[in-house]
Structure 1
């Protein structure tokens, strides 16, 4: 807890002014470092769920959650920054009233949150979270509603990360990979998911022509992963052609280079030799 004078009203006023000062200094530091604008912006719940793909929700009741797991809001993002510091004096009266109550040891009602993966988004209780942060607490009581999504929320830090998740969700709708295969495909550039989706669909079209039969998206995805992706990735590791890319990025690079250099869809030693020579150049 921050330093006390013994007078809850004065301490609450100091708490608010200190939180406001830290918010202003944080904005200044972001500007001086030329960081993206979304570094200090609260994640909007509806944008996150739209990017990940809503599946369903269930009420799981009261829980004690970590304050640092609360990263966003349903509808109050403009009043507080990412660390729940007040962005103006507009919330001061209510904020200080809650701070005084907390300092007196009065009971504070639990907040309401949505849980998406390990992240929490406030439905009601923004001021309570802000005060808890200012007083140096680590946890807070909350009524939790869990939201299930098509794509997991891991890796989301800033608003800009949502575009990667959105493209990944669209890719997995086009290429419905099962289980472990879903987790294996990781790309950094969101547009690469669109290109890989086109590649898998083209691969599936050639497969259906070769076998003279129709295959649905699930069957094409499973065949592509087992018959094309895994063997090629193993070959790339053996040939030391992965580098600092993810496996999926290495696969995309080598598939594109293969066709550019040799104009073929096959995989053999000649392809690997050509790729090695081209990389040295």
Structure 2
């Protein structure tokens, strides 16, 4: 009876903890739901392999196959019947019961619970670091991380589709990750590659395969720009953005800068110019926009740099 009372008191404390977590997350504008396993389909898994019984890190369990509505983002029970089940398990644990391993899917560096949700919630609440689990690993082109949200999974799903279409992992094994902070950017990147393929064909007067266009785009446009971004420390001026975000911005900046100057500028000059723009205040940016407008008017009176020139 004493152990039953202890389990009940712990459950009441846990319920208050869940309520506080929910309020704090709402105030911060954060979701308070577990990651659903169904979202993994966005990553275009190629298959799965059974890895057997393993000891896994509890902190890396961030989702569930079919009970994501019953637990919060911390894998704490948020429904009355879920809390009741948790209380009974806690009492059994206090009485010395040993629980069987849970069953999980491994995706990248994280896990989704297939069977054993309440045992996982118990382990989380008790601050348990490890738990035994039967592991089935999914083969995905883009890994997930323990702090990924549903938004991150959607973005990485778009990335997985981009990798599938470009075959970049096969063409350039170990390539630099291409991650965006907002959805919809990979379609823009595909347009860049298609445009690059078109101008390669014009310049070389031959048909350019998609694979050749992808590798040439990566080797001569994307990678040099990323290396310049890193070398010049541009990222510190763009908190919350990614290198791929900056690549698209610098690419546009490079094109319009080349039009204004009357010649093609390389990745280094475009990156440094973009950095200077980011460091300027609103008044300076307004003056620059006026200057760009005047340059545009002047450029209309003489032959301008075309995209064909930039691709040359």
Give the Cα–Cα distance (whole angstroms) in 1 for the partners of residues 254 and 57 of structure 2.
49
Give the Cα–Cα distance (whole angstroms) in 1 for the partners of residues 102 and 78 of structure 2.
20
Q: Show the counterpart of 1:213.
A: 206
1:187 aligns to what SS in structure 2? coil
In structure 2, which of residues 66, 74, 98 is the aligned counterpart of residue 75 of structure 1? 66
Q: Is the 8 A contact 2:250 2:270 kept in 1?
A: no
In structure 2, which of residues 229, 234, 239 is the aligned counterpart of residue 242 of structure 1? 234
TM-score scaled to structure 1, two decimals?
0.84
Q: Which has the higher contact order (CA 8 A, sep 6+)?
A: 1
CA displacement 1:125-163 (0-9 Å, x = unmatched): 011111222333221111111111121213752112222
Q: Show the counterpart of 1:8.
A: 3
TM-score scaled to structure 2, two decimals?
0.76
Unaligned 5+ runs, structure 1:
1-5
Per the TM alignment, residue 65 of structure 1 is displaced from its structure 2 partner at its CA by 1.2
Q: Show the counterpart of 1:24.
A: 19
Unaligned 5+ runs, structure 2:
281-287, 289-312
Q: Is the 8 A contact 1:113 1:145 kept in 2?
A: yes
Q: Is the 8 A contact 1:114 1:147 kept in 2?
A: yes
Question: Does residue 41 of structure 1 match 2:37?
Answer: no
Give the Cα–Cα distance (whole angstroms) in 1 for the partners of residues 18 and 244 of structure 2.
40
Q: Is the 8 A contact 1:175 1:200 kept in 2?
A: no
Per the TM alignment, residue 272 of structure 1 is displaced from its structure 2 partner at its CA by 3.3
Q: Within 5 Å, give how 1:1-281 maps onto structure 2.
A: 7-31=2-26, 33-36=27-30, 38=31, 40-47=32-39, 49-154=40-145, 156-177=147-168, 178-181=172-175, 183-234=176-227, 240=232, 242-244=234-236, 246-263=242-259, 267-268=264-265, 272=269, 276=273, 279=277, 281=288
Q: Is the 8 A contact 2:228 2:268 kept in 1?
A: no
Give the Cα–Cα distance (whole angstroms) in 1 for the partners of residues 271 and 150 of structure 2.
41
Give the Cα–Cα distance (whole angstroms) in 1 for the partners of residues 74 and 96 of structure 2.
23
Give the Cα–Cα distance (whole angstroms) in 2 for the partners of residues 160 and 273 of structure 1.
31
Count of aligned positions: 270
Q: Which runs of 4+ in 1 moved over 6 A?
A: none
Q: Is the 8 A contact 1:54 1:148 kept in 2?
A: yes
CA displacement 1:36-57 (0-9 Å, x = unmatched): 3x2x21001111x222211111
Task: Calculate the aligned-residue CA RMSD, in Å.
Answer: 2.9
